Amino acid sequence: MGMILVYSRNNASCNVLYNRSGKLMQCIVNRRAQFSASHRYWLPELSEVENVQRFGLCTRAPGHGHNYVLFVSIAGEVDEYGMVQNLSEVKQVIKQEITSHLDFSYLNDVWLEFQQTLPTTENIARVIWQRLLPYLPLVRVQLFEHPELWADYQGNGMEAYLTISIHFSAAHRLAQPSLSYEENCEIYGKCARPNGHGHNYHLEVTVKGEIDPRTGMIVDLGALQKVIEDRVVEPFDHTFLNKDIAYFAKVVPTAENIALYISSLLKSPIRELGTELHKVKLIESPNNSCEVILTTLNDTENPTTLPHSLTSKT
């Protein structure tokens, strides 16, 4: 579902920011572009065994490819022509500086930057930022390697964000055990019906970390995927959450509570991988999603101390 939301954007869009007095401050304009390119994860200073241990199938010669989708966000005040920057110029700069080089290229060889630091999604986003910065008032570069994996870079040194999107299917019922059926129907509507209902949940997990100057990675992607699979997908998929997940015996499994619980499950194992869980977004349906920004959860919190009062009608 995250994929559909993102790809349904037009090639260009605009958000307007206002200050407290309601005066126009600046506009963020997003421009989309795409390129197809190949790459290979291989460090010549490592042995074949070490390369395979680190990068798995991505070591295979002569490489493999992706259809990359790029979103470039710029910000500024609107000029007398009603624009932050002329979009045809923006389009031209992206083509001239980025896509004309990268489209149908072998990334490892196309730019020197990728010989120093492997062309991972997060590192490509960083290098695109560096190359566009002389021409555009950038605020963000977002790069999709495919619809379930993307990086965000905002110009802060080697810091980048990486997001994995996965899904699981589960049933739930929204009802407080202490309340009557009528009272629960009053609060939760149809979601309180006694035998539950189900969703195809989409989950976006965003981690924040420093890009390694050699591997180009903020985290071992395979290890991150395994953590999400082991801690969330495997235990949650095809369950009745209220009965199969002990935590939800007492806590109503609203999207908010599920997202908070998933955050608490992932936080420590992701830290053990050397990166930080930044955000969990749980998309319950095309109409309904919930985001947890991890700075709002303090370090000592665990599933048993999560707030039990966060409930809402889904």
Please state the closest distance from residue 282 (CB atom) to Zn ion, in A. Answer: 11
> Is there binding between residue 73 and Zn ion (CB under 5 A)?
no
What does each C-alpha distance from 193 to 178, 196, 237, 309 come to in angstroms? 15, 6, 21, 20
Contact (Cβ atoms closer than 8 angstroms) between residue 213 and residue 158? yes
Of the candidate residues 51, 120, 275, 314, the single one contacting Zn ion (CB under 5 A) = 314
Contact (Cβ atoms closer than 8 angstroms) between residue 40 and residue 60? yes
Q: Among the residues of the chain, which ranges form H helices?
A: 2-7, 48-55, 87-94, 100-102, 107-110, 113-116, 121-132, 181-188, 221-228, 234-236, 241-244, 255-272
> Which residue, 56 or 213, has its beta carbon nearer to Zn ion?
56
Residue number closest to Zn ion, CB atom: 314
**Beta carbons within 8 Å of 242's beta carbon, 6+ residues apart:** 172, 173, 196, 248, 249, 253
Structure tokens belonging to residue 308: 């039990």
> Which residue, 9 or 313, has its beta carbon nearer to Zn ion?
313
Per DSSP bridges, beta strands 138-146 and 159-172 are: unpaired
Of 66, 256, 284, 290, which one is the catalytic site residue? Answer: 284
Please state the closest distance from residue 74 (CB atom) to Zn ion, in A. Answer: 27
Residue 191 among the catalytic residues: yes
Please state the closest distance from residue 58 (CB atom) to Zn ion, in A. Answer: 6
- Considering only the stretches 88-96, 177-185, 256-264, 306-314, report the one whose residues sit in contact with Zn ion under the rule CB under 5 A: 306-314
> Which residue, 11 or 169, has its beta carbon nearer to Zn ion?
169
Please state the closest distance from residue 199 (CB atom) to Zn ion, in A. Answer: 5
Secondary structure class of 211 (helix, strand, coil) = coil
Please state the closest distance from residue 118 (CB atom) to Zn ion, in A. Answer: 10
Q: Site for Zn ion (CB under 5 A): how many residues?
A: 1
Q: What angle do CA 302, 305, 310 make, to 5 degrees?
A: 110
Structure tokens belonging to residue 288: 């309904």
User: d(Cα 87, Cα 14) in Å, to the nearest integer?
Assistant: 11
Which positions from 7 through 36 interact with Zn ion, judged by CB under 5 A?
none
> Which residue, 138 or 170, has its beta carbon nearer to Zn ion?
170
Per DSSP bridges, beta strands 239-240 and 159-172 are: parallel
Site string for Zn ion, 255-294 (x = CB under 5 A): ----------------------------------------
Paired with 139 in beta bridges are none
> Which residue, 13 or 169, has its beta carbon nearer to Zn ion?
169
> Which residue, 73 or 314, has its beta carbon nearer to Zn ion?
314
Of 191, 199, 256, 278, which one is the catalytic site residue? Answer: 191
Per DSSP bridges, beta strands 105-106 and 12-18 are: unpaired
Going by the DSSP 8-state scheme, the letter that residue 96 receives in this structure is I
Of 64, 146, 197, 238, which one is the catalytic site residue? Answer: 238
Please state the closest distance from residue 30 (CB atom) to Zn ion, in A. Answer: 24
Residue 202 among the catalytic residues: no
Residue 238 among the catalytic residues: yes
Binding residues (CB under 5 A) for Zn ion: these are 314
Active site residues: 191, 238, 284
